[in-house]
Amino acid sequence: ADGLKLAAAGKLTVCTHLPFKPFQVRDTKGAIVGFDVDYMDLVAKKLGLTQTIVDTPFEGIKSGQDLKIGKCDVAAAGMTITKTRQQVMDFSVPYFDNTQSLLVKAGQPYKTLADFKGKKIGGEVGNTGLKFAQNNAAKYGFTVVEYQDTTTLQQALATNQIQGAMDDLPIWTVLVAEDKRFTIATKFATNEQYGYSVAKGANPKLLATVNEVITSSLKDGSYAKLYTKWMQL
């Protein structure tokens, strides 16, 4: 495809951070599936490419570094568009509305952040939920603990190393639908929007294609289909 810069010929190389179900997760056979995966398949198809996924720490994705060094062509990681991130990568139009949510063990008395005085809240390294927890820690008197991914975060909660786990609402709604050990104590109107991103200033044609796919999917019903397929919201 003309004017496209690609990490590997014939492929749309996508950086993500597993697992972030329902956006990206391994199924029982080990294949990576999810809302973002289906979306990037649409983009790849439109460009005559096949998608290949690179699982990599979120820090490298959100810092723009992975895109900058050409580890991948596009980042698709349920990533919130922020002013800081916009300075180091080019985002698509928004494709998903998100708020933070606090996961607790079912049957526990935690309802609001004020109930966490002297307790521990976990979050994922580098993400907006961790930052939101950190920004509220002093005010409510809780401690923040960092985890590498949603698996270690929910394990820490299951084993009582922490009393709450902060992460994006679609992640925890899917989890609580499957795992009755957990419930969502509260949600926060953080007014986040997800975007896909490409290297800053370096891949306008790819970005335009991503935007076209998002815009047309909203009109032709394919967005609604993917939403129903993956979300528990």
Residues near ligand GLN (CB under 6 A) are 17, 20, 58, 77-80, 98, 124, 127-128, 168
Distance CA 189, CA 168 (A): 11
Phi, psi of 212 (to 5 degrees): -60, -45
Q: How many CA atoms lie within 13 A of 37 on its CB side?
A: 21
108: closest CA among 159, 187, 169, 183?
Answer: 183
CA distances from 74 to 15, 31, 51 (A): 6, 19, 10
User: Cβ 75 to ligand GLN, closest distance in Å?
Assistant: 10
User: Cβ 79 to ligand GLN, closest distance in Å?
Assistant: 4
Which CB atom, from 4 or from 145, has the smaller least distance to ligand GLN?
A: 145
Which CB atom, from 73 or from 168, has the smaller least distance to ligand GLN?
A: 168
Which CB atom, from 66 or from 124, has the smaller least distance to ligand GLN?
A: 124
User: Cβ 129 to ligand GLN, closest distance in Å?
Assistant: 6
User: Cβ 181 to ligand GLN, closest distance in Å?
Assistant: 21
The residue of the chain with the least Cβ separation from ligand GLN equals: 127
Cα 69 to chain center, whole Å?
A: 21
CA distances from 184 to 5, 79, 128, 222 (A): 42, 21, 18, 29
Distance CA 213, CA 44 (A): 10
Contact predicate 92/214, CB 8 Å: yes
Which CB atom, from 80 or from 209, has the smaller least distance to ligand GLN?
A: 80
User: Cβ 158 to ligand GLN, closest distance in Å?
Assistant: 19
